[in-house]
Amino acid sequence: MKIRLFDTREELDQYAAGLFVDLVNAKPDAVLGLATGSTPIGIYEKIVKRYNNGQVTFKHATTYNLDEYVGLPRENEQSYAYFMNHHLFHHIDIPSERTYLPNGLAADPAAECARYDEMLLSRQVDMQLLGLGHNGHIGFNEPDRELHAGTHIVDLQKETLEANARFFASMDDVPKQAITMGVGSILKAKSILLVVKGADKAEIVKRALQGPITTEVPASLLQTHANVIVLLDQEAGRLM
């Protein structure tokens, strides 16, 4: 595990964007694993900037997102599909048919999970971007006595619902379930880029990266992967 600390978020975002741009330039048909949340927004901005400067094309790339809320249509501004279009896909030349997210409105959610896993089995993700939840979740793999390997439906925990409430009009509007890649699907990626920002995550960063490997801190399982890069701002890396 390589850990890098950055003085500013600007530098962190620039560096992370550079990793994706370099990957796609070296391998135009790269498969990118993407994430939502506030953490990657700056990274996507930098990627778009570099695309606009003619430094990269995504014409042949494919993306898979980690997760999606259950019950939100793609047009809902809080859906992760909307988020990805808004922050990245609509600003670059990636063909929309190669940007995959779980379908949170699938009539048969179990079949949707199986379909997503089949796709992930057919194409290995080259680089998976991850944020970190305050309770150590990655994607929407919440702390538990057991974790799922594959894509599955998850009941979101109180802490996660509260953290997500800031994006919704009221707590009642926050979706209670999501479809998420499992920890096994995430660990299948060739390389993983974990990005964490903010003082409120310093504690969980330490537990995830230096504490025992436990399903109670899903991100701690990243310690078992051979190719993880962790990018931290000063605040998130305060205890490291």
Instruction: Give the residue numbers marked as catalytic.
Output: 67, 135, 137, 142
Does 128 bind ligand GLP (CB under 6 A)? Our answer is no
Q: Which of 13, 67, 142, 233 binds ligand GLP (CB under 6 A)?
A: 67
Q: Which of 117, 127, 140, 147 binds ligand GLP (CB under 6 A)?
A: 140
Specify the pairing of strand 67-69 against strand 127-130.
unpaired
Give the nearest distance from C-beta 166 to ligand GLP in angstroms.
9
Region label for 183, one of left (φ > 0), alpha (ψ between -120 and 50) or beta (otherwise): alpha
Q: Kind and range of the H or E element at 194?
A: strand 191-196
Q: Kind and range of the H or E element at 153?
A: strand 152-155
Segment contacting ligand GLP (CB under 6 A): 14-22, 35-43, 82-90, 119-127?
35-43
Cβ atoms of 84 and 96 within 8 Å: the answer is no
Count, residues in the chain: 240
Does 66 bind ligand GLP (CB under 6 A)? Our answer is yes
Cβ closest to ligand GLP, residue 40 vs residue 56: 40
Give the nearest distance from C-beta 59 to ligand GLP in angstroms.
26
Give the C-alpha separation, 158 to 98, whole Å.
33
Per CB under 6 A, residues contacting ligand GLP are 35-39, 66-67, 131-133, 139-140, 160
